[in-house]
């Protein structure tokens, strides 16, 4: 099995700049069309309850991007604290804020300025006061150790160069017994070293993907227990722009685990 903890072979800052640019466009030009699905169509593909989506400000939905539905992996309870890793336009964080209610709290973390601005505007439009959006990297979460009951993430881990550091941070911010509910992708065929140099394959949620067994091993190595992978469907077919996802057997998947 390939070592999933190897250092990435692409330039980290160049990669992050490209990812920021891609998702800044999702925030500012949501109708442009991408090689992944977005918006209301994506929410329907991923099985979000219609009443949840209708309860969000349109700005949170049109710039929504992801590969699964973390809420389908486990319950979010009233009064809990939630951290959304890679919160984007804020759709999942706002849903979580409704689920935890006024006695709960949500922190969304994202590295893209345009997404953070969009998410904050959407929280204001929704009248939600128990959610906060912070700028940061998943490899160094701006969240207190042991603060949260639940970590959610949606289609973001594959974009992170140092996945081991990111998962270790998810483990750190969870209280003992806290839960990880993460939607992402898995590959049926590994990405070659040459393909990993193609930044467009990273921004398209392909080059940073892992095989099923690699993803489970990554989560387990961080200290999580009761790790379970839930297979999903093809979340790239029919996207507005051509995608190479099918070449690698890229599919949505969910990971649930406990600290």
The backbone torsions φ and ψ at residue 20, rounded to the nearest 5 degrees and listed phi first, read -60, -45
Q: What is the average pLDDT across 236-248? A: 85
- Give the chain's domains with CATH numbers: 12-258 (3.40.50.150)
Pick from 39, 99, 44: which is nearest to 64 by CA? 39
Q: Answer for the pair 104, 82: CB distance below 8 angstroms, yes or no.
A: yes
192 band by pLDDT with thresholds 50, 70 and 90: confident
Each residue of 108-158: pLDDT tens digit?
999 999 999 999 999 999 999 999 999 999 999 999 999 999 999 999 999
Q: Answer for the pair 66, 38: CB distance below 8 angstroms, yes or no.
A: no
Question: Look-up: residue for tokens 């994506």?
Answer: 42
User: How far is residue 10's CA from residue 220's CA, in Å, rounded to a whole number?
Assistant: 25
The half-sphere exposure of 199 on its side-chain side, counting CA atoms within 13 A, is 13
User: How far is residue 222's CA from residue 149's CA, in Å, rounded to a whole number?
Assistant: 17
Pick from 89, 109, 103: which is nearest to 28 by CA? 89
User: How far is residue 62's CA from residue 44's CA, in Å, rounded to a whole number?
Assistant: 12
Q: Is the pLDDT of residue 249 over 90?
A: no
The half-sphere exposure of 212 on its side-chain side, counting CA atoms within 13 A, is 11
Angle at 5 between CA 2 and CA 10, to 5 degrees: 90
User: How far is residue 11's CA from residue 128's CA, in Å, rounded to a whole number?
Assistant: 38
Each residue of 206-227: pLDDT tens digit?
788 899 999 999 999 999 999 9
Judged by DSSP in three states, 63 sits in coil
Handedness of CA 248, 249, 252, 258 (dihedral sign): negative
Helices (H), the chain: 12-28, 39-45, 50-54, 58-62, 91-100, 113-126, 163-173, 199-203, 212-221
9 band by pLDDT with thresholds 50, 70 and 90: low
Each residue of 56-78: pLDDT tens digit?
999 999 999 999 999 999 999 99
Pick from 103, 51, 55: which is nearest to 82 by CA? 103
User: How far is residue 241's CA from residue 50's CA, in Å, rounded to a whole number?
Assistant: 26
User: How far is residue 118's CA from residue 62's CA, in Å, rounded to a whole number?
Assistant: 11
What global pTM score does this model have?
0.93
Give the residue with greater pLDDT, 117 vs 235: 117
């Amino acid at each position: 099995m390939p070592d999933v903890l190897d250092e990435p072979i692409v330039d980290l800052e160049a990669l992050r700049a490209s990812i920021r640019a891609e998702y800044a466009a999702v925030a500012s030009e949501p109708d442009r069309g991408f090689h992944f699905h977005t918006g209301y169509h994506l929410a329907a593909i991923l099985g979000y309850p219609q009443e949840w989506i209708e309860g969000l400000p349109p700005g949170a939905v049109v710039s929504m991007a992801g590969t699964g539905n973390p809420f389908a992996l486990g319950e979010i309870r009233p009064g809990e604290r939630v951290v959304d890793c890679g919160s984007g336009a804020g759709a999942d964080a706002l849903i979580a804020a409704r689920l935890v209610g006024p006695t709960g709290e949500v922190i969304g973390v994202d590295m893209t300025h345009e997404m953070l601005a969009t998410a904050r505007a959407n929280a204001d439009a929704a009248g939600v006061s128990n959610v906060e959006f912070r700028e940061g990297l998943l490899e160094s979460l701006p969240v207190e150790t042991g603060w949260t009951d639940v970590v959610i993430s949606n289609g973001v881990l594959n974009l992170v160069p140092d996945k081991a550091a990111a998962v270790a941070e998810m483990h750190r911010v969870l209280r003992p017994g806290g839960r990880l509910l993460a939607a992402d992708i898995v590959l049926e065929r590994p990405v070659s070293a040459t393909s990993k140099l193609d930044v467009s394959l990273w921004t398209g949620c392909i080059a940073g993907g892992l095989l099923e067994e690699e993803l489970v091993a990554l989560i387990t190595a961080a200290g999580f227990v009761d790790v379970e992978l839930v297979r999903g469907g093809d979340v790239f077919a029919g996207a507005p722009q051509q995608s190479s996802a099918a070449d690698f057997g890229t599919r949505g998947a969910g990971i649930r685990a406990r600290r």
